Amino acid sequence: HAEKAAAKARIKQLLIDQDAVLVAHYYTDPEIQALAEETGGCVSDSLEMARFGRDHPAKKLIVAGVKFMGETSKILSPEKTVLMPTLEATCSLDIGCPIDKFSAFCDAHPEHTVVVYANTSAAVKARADWVVTSSIALEIVEHLDSEGKKIIWGPDRHLGSYIAKETGADMLMWQGDCIVHDEFKSKALKELKIQHPDAAILVHPESPANVVALADAVGSTSQLIKAAQTMDNQEFIVATDRGIFYKMQQAAPGKTLIEAPTGGNGATCKSCAHCPWMAMNGLQAIEASLTATNKTEHEVFVDDALRDDALVPLNRMLNFAK
Ligand code: CIZ
Ligand code: SF4
C-alpha cells in the first residue's frame, strides 16, 4: 500500500515536470482512473480520450488504454508526444482485422461505404470512409442508410448485427469480436435476473445478440453510465468490462452494481469481464513510460501518409458528432 502511494506520488511529480497529462479509459483498473482524475487528466471512452488529448495544452499525452487509442490520439495530436504504459496492450478486434485482408474485402465490394469501429489500426481507419465509436455508430449508420448507401462494417460482428437490426441498413459484416464482451452468457443472465427481479440489465452492444435481447438499456460505456445514473432502479446487472464500475458507482452512488455472468470463472477465462490488455496499464508501466530513456517501448508513431488518410474518416465522425 505504501509502495503504491509512493509510486503515485512519483508519477504525479513526473507528469508536472514533463508537462504531461494522463488520459485513461473506463476499463483500466480503478486506481489508474483515480490517478487520472487526481492529476487533472480524464477518464472516458475512446472518442472522448482522443478529443481531450487533442484539446489539452500539455505537450505529452500518457494514454492508459489499448494501442488503437494511442494511435487515434496521435492522429488527432501529431505535434504531441503520445506515450503508452505499454505498446503491447492491444485489442482482439484490432488483431482480428489485419489491413491486407480487410482491404481485399473492401476491394471486392467497391460499391459499399466502408464504416469501421474505432477499435482498429490506423491502417484500417485509413482504408475507411467513416470511423465510428459505439456511442455514435447508430446515428451514423442511420444517416448513411437514409442516403441509400450499402455498408461494409468492421470489425465487431455483434455491434454490427445490433446496428443492422436497429436501423435495417444493408451491412456486410467483418467477423471480429471482443474477447471480453463475447463471453457474456444469456442463460446465466436470465437466472441472475430471477434472483434480482428489480435490477435493470445494462448491456454494451459488443455482447452477443441473445444477451443484448435481455437488456433494459443498450449503449456505449458513457451511455451505460448515464443509464445507471438516470434510471429509477436501485440495482443494475452490467454486461461490460468491470472497470466501468468505478465511474458508474460515482455517477450512481448508493445503487448496487452486479457483474453480468460470463462463460467461465477466473481460472478458466482470462478475459471474463475484464480486458487483459486494459489490465496491463498498471502504476509501474505508467511510471516506466515517463522515465524510460529508450522510449521505443512506449512512444506511439503513425506514418504521415497513413495519418492523413485516417484523419479524413475520423474527422467525418467528429464533425457529425457536433
Ligand atoms: O470496448 C471497448 O474497447 C470500448 C468500449 C472502447 C471505447 O470506444 O471506449
Ligand atoms: Fe478490445 Fe474488448 Fe479489450 Fe475493448 S474490451 S480493448 S474491445 S478486447
For domain 181-259, the question of CATH label 3.30.830.10 is answered with no
pLDDT(117) > 90: yes
The pLDDT > 70 percentage for the chain reads: 98
Task: Report whether 24 contacts 43 (CB < 8 A).
Answer: yes
154 conformational bin, left if phi > 0, alpha if psi -120 to 50, beta if neither: beta
Q: Model confidence over 207-228: pLDDT tens digits?
A: 999 999 999 999 999 999 999 9
pLDDT band at 263 (very low <50, low <70, confident <90, very high): confident
Number of the ligand closest to the Cα of 221: 1
Question: pTM score, two decimals?
Answer: 0.95
**Within 13 A of 317's CA, how many CA atoms are on the CB side?**
29
Burial class (CB in 10 A: 0-12, 13-18, 19+), 232: exposed
H helix intervals, the chain: 2-17, 30-38, 46-55, 67-76, 92-95, 99-107, 122-127, 137-146, 157-167, 186-195, 209-212, 221-230, 245-251, 283-291, 304-321
Q: Which CATH superfamily is domain 2-90+278-301 in?
A: NadA-like (3.40.50.10800)
Q: Model confidence over 138-158: pLDDT tens digits?
A: 999 999 999 999 999 999 999
**Ligand 2 in contact with 66 (CB < 6 A)?**
yes
Q: Residue 125 corresponds to which amino acid?
A: K
Ligand 1 centroid–CA 2 distance in Å is: 32
Q: 111-121 in b/e burial notation, b at 16+ Cβ within 10 A?
A: ebbbbbbbbbb
For 291-295, what is the mean pLDDT? 91
Ligand 1 environment, Cβ below 6 A: 45-46, 118-119, 133-134, 178, 206, 221
For 62-89, what is the mean pLDDT? 97
- Nearest CA to 188 out of 261, 109, 79 is that of 261
Q: What is the pLDDT of residue 322?
A: 76
Number of the ligand closest to the Cα of 24: 1
Within 10 A of 138 (CB to CB), how many other CB atoms are there? 20
Domain borders along the chain are 2-90+278-301, 93-178, 181-259
- For ligand 2, atom 3, which residue shows the shortest CA distance? 275
In angstroms, the CA 94 to CA 178 distance is 9
Mean pLDDT of all residues in the chain? 96
117 known ligand binder: yes
**Ligand 2 in contact with 275 (CB < 6 A)?**
yes
160 is written with which cell numbers? Answer: 454490427
Burial class (CB in 10 A: 0-12, 13-18, 19+), 163: buried
Task: Report whether 90 contacts 277 (CB < 8 A).
Answer: yes
Q: What is the pLDDT of residue 294?
A: 87
Q: Do domains 2-90+278-301 and 181-259 have the same CATH topology?
A: yes
Query: Which among 23, 26, 27 is the best mutation to test ligand 1's pocket, defined by most ligand atoms within 8 Å of the CB?
Result: 27
- CATH of the domain spanning 93-178, picked from 3.40.50.300, 3.40.50.10800, 3.30.70.260, 3.40.30.10: 3.40.50.10800
In angstroms, the CA 123 to CA 220 distance is 24
- Nearest CA to 223 out of 294, 292, 162 is that of 162
pLDDT band at 1 (very low <50, low <70, confident <90, very high): confident
